[in-house]
């Protein structure tokens, strides 16, 4: 299974842990490589970041430099709140910064953040497998989900990304951490079963 870097929770703000967090980085862009390697946490705020949805992904723009890149949100405490202490990761799973409280944002940025959090914590049920393409060890799946909507996702370690809850119920976690379910593999149509037999 793809190994992800766990965001540093030692730098959580004082109001959450009683330990004073260091100040945000100054004088460098959000995507500065040296700043990413620094131990001090940087806070993502409406003053230094703009979020938008696009192409099924979340993008973060640094208004100071105009630089933009795709980002992934990781909830540090997903079982207690979905609105505070959200780690922002780049596609290499490096932490760009942390959002103290998403309600500090408004308008398009807040809408984009909320949509991404809802998407990542929503398990979609696969009803039909339309295509699986294998290239350089990464499989790209095109599937039909409950409600008739199509979805496309990628698995880097296909065998390790498919978890058997029971003999017939499967949970699949894609390269970005999105989750899909096959409620009963035996109830899939014949073509879908043929496509996944290799990976079961």
HEC secondary structure over 139-173: EEEEEEECCCCEEEEEECCHHHHEEECCCCCEEEE
Query: Considering the chain, what is the average pLDDT of its residues?
Result: 82
Q: Is the model more confident about 112 or about 165? A: 112
What pLDDT score does 2 carry? 45
Helix, coil or strand: residue 196: helix
What pLDDT score does 117 carry? 85
Q: Per mean pLDDT, which of 35-39, 67-71, 177-181 is the most reliable? A: 67-71
Tokens coding 7: 């965001």
What pLDDT score does 1 carry? 46
The model's pLDDT over 59-78, given as tens digits with 9 standing for 90+, comes to: 999 999 999 999 999 888 75
Q: How many residues does the chain have?
A: 200
What pLDDT score does 99 carry? 96
Q: Give the DSSP H/E element, type plus range, for residue 176.
A: none
The model's pLDDT over 79-131, given as tens digits with 9 standing for 90+, comes to: 567 788 999 999 888 889 999 999 999 999 999 999 888 877 777 899 999 99
What pLDDT score does 76 carry? 81
Tokens coding 92: 């290499």
What pLDDT score does 198 carry? 86
Q: Which strands, in side-by-side order, build the sheet including 57-61? A: 50-54, 57-61, 68-75, 84-89, 95-101
pTM of structure: 0.51
Buried b (16+ CB within 10 A) or exposed e, 91-129: eebebbbbbbebeebeeebeebbbebbebbeeebebbeb
The confidence band for 30, taking pLDDT boundaries of 50, 70 and 90, is confident
Percentage of the chain surpassing pLDDT 70?
80
What pLDDT score does 38 carry? 56
Paired sense of beta strands 150-155 and 68-75, if any: unpaired
What integer is the mean pLDDT of 7-30? 47
Radius of gyration of the chain (CA): 19
Report whether 195 contacts 170 (CB < 8 A).
Answer: no
CA distance 77 to 167: 31
CA distance 159 to 140: 13
């Amino acid at each position: 299974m793809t190994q992800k870097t766990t965001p540093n929770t030692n730098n959580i703000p004082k109001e959450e842990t009683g330990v004073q967090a260091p100040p945000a980085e100054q004088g460098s862009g959000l995507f500065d490589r040296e700043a990413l390697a620094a131990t001090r946490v940087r806070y993502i705020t409406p003053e230094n970041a703009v979020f938008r949805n696009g192409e099924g992904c979340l993008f973060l723009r640094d208004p100071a430099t105009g630089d933009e890149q795709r980002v992934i949100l990781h909830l540090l405490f997903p079982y207690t709140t979905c609105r505070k202490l959200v780690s922002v990761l780049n596609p290499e799973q490096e932490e760009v910064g942390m959002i103290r409280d998403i309600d500090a944002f408004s308008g398009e940025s807040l809408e984009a953040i909320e949509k991404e959090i809802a998407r990542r914590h929503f398990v979609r049920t696969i009803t039909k497998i339309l295509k699986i393409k294998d290239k350089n060890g990464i499989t790209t799946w095109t599937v039909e989900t409950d409600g008739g909507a199509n979805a496309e996702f990628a698995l880097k370690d296909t065998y390790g990304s498919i978890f058997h809850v029971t003999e017939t119920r499967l949970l699949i976690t894609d390269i970005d951490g999105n989750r899909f379910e096959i409620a009963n593999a035996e109830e899939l149509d014949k073509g879908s079963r043929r496509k996944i037999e290799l990976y079961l």
